[in-house]
Structure 1
Amino acid sequence: MPIYTKGGDKGTTSLYDGQRVKKDSLRVETYGTFDELNANISLADKLCVSPKNKAILQRVEYKMFFLQGEIATQDTKKFLENSRVISDEDVHGLERVIDQYTAELPKVTSFILPGASLAGAQLHVCRTVCRRAERQFVRFSADVAVRPVLERYVNRLSDFLYIMARSEDHEAQIKQITDEVIKRYAQAMGR
């Protein structure tokens, strides 16, 4: 079975509820940018040094499907009846990670370069894509009623990605120092 349907050959696409809209609509642009963000988060989780960070990012990747699905539905009631949705607990989950990592990581007193490690740099890419998606979401929600929990989730997401980037940079720095100590020890022992 081919993956193409030819349904979009005239510049329209189907939403979750089956309604067709122009491919350049703000709705499609918004959920498409969150899709771009999710692909970038997936790449970041593959680059992470910390297994804990990988697991956290993978949970967020699944939550992104619910966010995108709800945005990709004009008949929100139909989506809410048939799908899992972003909840207050999801917002609180992001906040718990942000609060915990902020307390554990060294204090930042100035601007930082976006990524001292490969995973950190990719997470900063995620953060900037998230900010763009958030700006589109704000424009979208000015014309379309959205559940307030979505606004809160989207608003927390870029802060979450920032703290994850800092965590990965910190983990990479610890690994680099540890590797250097082991190397010097081995040299001193004549190995």
Structure 2
Amino acid sequence: MKLYTKTGDGGTTGLYGADRVSKANIRVEAYGTVDELNSAIGVARAHGPSAEMDADLEYLQNALFDVGADLATRSGTTYEKKISRMDEQDTAFIEAMIDRYQEGAPPFTGFVHPGGTPVAASLHVARTVARRAEREVIRLLHEEDANAHVQVYLNRLSDLLFVMARAANQAAGIGEHAWLVKGRR
């Protein structure tokens, strides 16, 4: 099987089990940003996080494929039965992970500069991509029928990536740099 099909050469793509839409369609933008998020997490993994964090990041990458499939599949299609929709349980699992990583992070006192170790800096980038994906999903929800649980999931995921970055820096003995309000140097 060839990787290229040439079906997208005209600027359209097929939704899972549905019609073809513009590659600039809000639904495509949403799941495309989720794909970008998955890649950003892959970069963080390439920087060599702890074994526990790497396993959690791999779990998240797999879950993001489910998120992408959820977004790429319109309600009411026959293909809907072939995917797993995100739900409250997925969000609860992320919340439990946040609680676990918060134990290994310093107390939160305010905004911190993204950075630190390569793992932490990459997780901060992934966090910002998660926030953008969430905004794309919100736009989608305003225009079309989609699973609202995806937006909540992405919101929690960005929180998780933030606390994972802080925990990675803490484990490496790297301190955080707090935001200094203009004139308070």
Specify the TM-score bucket, using the shorter chain as the normaliser.
Answer: 0.7 to 0.9
What percent identity do the matched residue pairs reach?
39
Q: Does 1:122 align with 2:122?
A: yes
Equivalent residues in 2 for 1:21-40 (5 A)?
21-40=21-40
- Residues of 1 paired with 2:164 and 2:79: CA distance? 30
Query: Secondary structure at 1:13's aligned position in 2?
Result: strand
Question: How far apart are 1:18 and its partner, in Å?
Answer: 4.1
The answer as to whether partners of 1:15 and 1:72 remain within 8 angstroms in 2 is yes
- For residue 150 of structure 2, what is the amino acid of its counterpart? L
The answer as to whether partners of 1:117 and 1:168 remain within 8 angstroms in 2 is yes
Equivalent residues in 2 for 1:39-188 (5 A)?
39-173=39-173
The answer as to whether partners of 2:34 and 2:133 remain within 8 angstroms in 1 is yes
Unmatched 5+ stretches in structure 2: 175-185
Query: TM-score scaled to structure 2, two decimals?
Result: 0.87
The answer as to whether partners of 1:134 and 1:154 remain within 8 angstroms in 2 is yes
- Residues of 1 paired with 2:64 and 2:156: CA distance? 13
Question: How far apart are 1:69 and its partner, in Å?
Answer: 0.8
Query: Secondary structure at 2:106's aligned position in 1?
Result: coil
Unmatched 5+ stretches in structure 1: 175-191
Report which of the two has the higher share of helix. Answer: 1
Query: Secondary structure at 2:6's aligned position in 1?
Result: coil
* Residue matched to 1:16: 16
Residue correspondences, number: 174
Question: How far apart are 1:67 and its partner, in Å?
Answer: 0.7
Query: TM-score scaled to structure 1, two decimals?
Result: 0.84
Question: How far apart are 1:77 and its partner, in Å?
Answer: 4.5
Question: How far apart are 1:103 and its partner, in Å?
Answer: 3.3
Give CA deviations for 1:94-127 in whole Å, capped at 9, x if unaligned: 1011122223422132321212100000000001
- For residue 73 of structure 2, what is the amino acid of its counterpart? T
- Residues of 2 paired with 1:95 and 1:151: CA distance? 14
Question: How far apart are 1:146 and its partner, in Å?
Answer: 2.3
Question: How far apart are 1:16 and its partner, in Å?
Answer: 1.2
The answer as to whether partners of 2:75 and 2:146 remain within 8 angstroms in 1 is no
- For residue 20 of structure 1, what is the amino acid of its counterpart? R
Question: How far apart are 1:19 and its partner, in Å?
Answer: 1.7
CA separation of 1:81/1:10 partners in 2, compared to 1, >3 Å: closer, same or farther? same
Say which is worse superposed, 150-159 or 77-86, in terms of deviation: 77-86
- Which structure has the bigger radius of gyration? 1
- Residues of 1 paired with 2:105 and 2:168: CA distance? 10
- Residues of 2 paired with 1:48 and 1:171: CA distance? 13
- Provide the alpha-carbon RMSD of the alignment: 1.7
The answer as to whether partners of 1:14 and 1:21 remain within 8 angstroms in 2 is yes
